[in-house]
Amino acid sequence: MLLANPTAEIDAPKIGRSLPKVLGIAEVNTLLQLPELTPPLVLRNYAMLYLLYASGLRVSELVSLPVNGCNLSNCHLRILGKGNKERVIPFSETTRALIKDYIERGRPLILKRKPSPLLFISNRGTSMTRNRFWQIIREVALAAGIDKEISPHILRHSFATHLLAGGADLRSVQMMLGHTDISTTQIYTHVDTARLKSTHQRFHPRG
């Protein structure tokens, strides 16, 4: 005789979402420290890194960003993201200066008179792949002495976490990231809380 399963009516426990990994502000500053020599490809790489951290773009959006999607006069991007939803993202004057320098001194030398609608191109003057940019960010991190795991998405996570920690409202960060559901953005408030808890446990004398 088969017995009824006593757990059949009990809901399974929800699996918690793991917190995204982020860089500290000091690590970001180290990563974005410009080297003394800035040939065209180095200018391109740092312009991409600065813009990624300044805007929180997805890597696919970064490598496919058209020149006319970057407004240097008003310091904002116009992005066509998931589901063909358009969003506007501001960026800083520091990022603007670096992109302008890349456009004037780096991009023409990389293109070698080839036309391209894209802002960031490969050393062959063609569109850059996501994998290639992953390699670039790891190369820059290693050269900067950052030996932890790093990826374009970690810079996106860092962008959101640092904005919220600095007092930005959740809805604005949601719009900049292009999240449909605000609960997706709320995970970054938990990241900051987790870091505060870790700091407290580390340094409080009675922790």
Is 138 an annotated catalytic residue? no
Query: Could you tell me if 97 and 114 are in contact, meaning their C-beta atoms sit under 8 angstroms apart?
Result: no
Does position 181 have pLDDT exceeding 50, yes or no?
A: yes
- Residue of 21, 78, 179, 195 marked catalytic: 179
Q: Which one of 82, 85, 105, 124 is the catalytic residue?
A: 82
Query: pLDDT higher for 157 or 196?
Result: 157
Q: Is 188 a catalytic site residue?
A: yes
Residue 190, pLDDT score: 72
Reply yes or no on whether 153 is catalytic. Answer: yes
Q: Does the annotation mark 171 as catalytic?
A: no
Q: How far is CA 171 from CA 80, 84, 90, in A?
A: 19, 20, 15
pTM: 0.82
Instruction: Point out the catalytic residue in the list 44, 58, 96, 157.
Output: 58
User: Which stretch of 45-49, 67-71, 135-139, 172-176 has the lowest confidence by average pLDDT?
Assistant: 172-176
| Range 25-203: architecture per CATH | Orthogonal Bundle (1.10)
Residue 87 or 195, more confident = 87
Return the minimum-mean-pLDDT range out of 13-27, 49-63, 72-86, 90-104: 13-27
Q: Let me know: does 109 contact 40? Beta carbons within 8 Å.
A: yes
To the query of whether residue 78 is one of the catalytic residues in this protein, the response is no
Burial of 81-106, coded b for 16+ CB within 10 Å and e otherwise, reads: beeeeeeebebeeebbebbeebbeeb
For 93-120, what is the mean pLDDT?
96
Tell me, yes or no, if 82 is annotated catalytic: yes
Give whole-number Cα distances, 58 to 12, 99, 187, 194, in Å: 33, 18, 17, 24
**Bridge partners for 86 per DSSP:** 80
Residue 139: pLDDT band (50, 70, 90) is very high
From 44, 156, 157, 162, the catalytic residue: 156
Query: Regarding predicted confidence, which is higher, 179 or 101?
Result: 101
Domain spans, the chain: 25-203
* pLDDT reading at 5 higher than 60: no
Please pick, among 21, 87, 153, 195, the residue that the annotation labels catalytic: 153
pLDDT in tens, 152-168: 999 999 999 999 988 89
What is the pLDDT, as a whole number, of residue 203? 57
Q: What is the pLDDT of residue 14?
A: 44
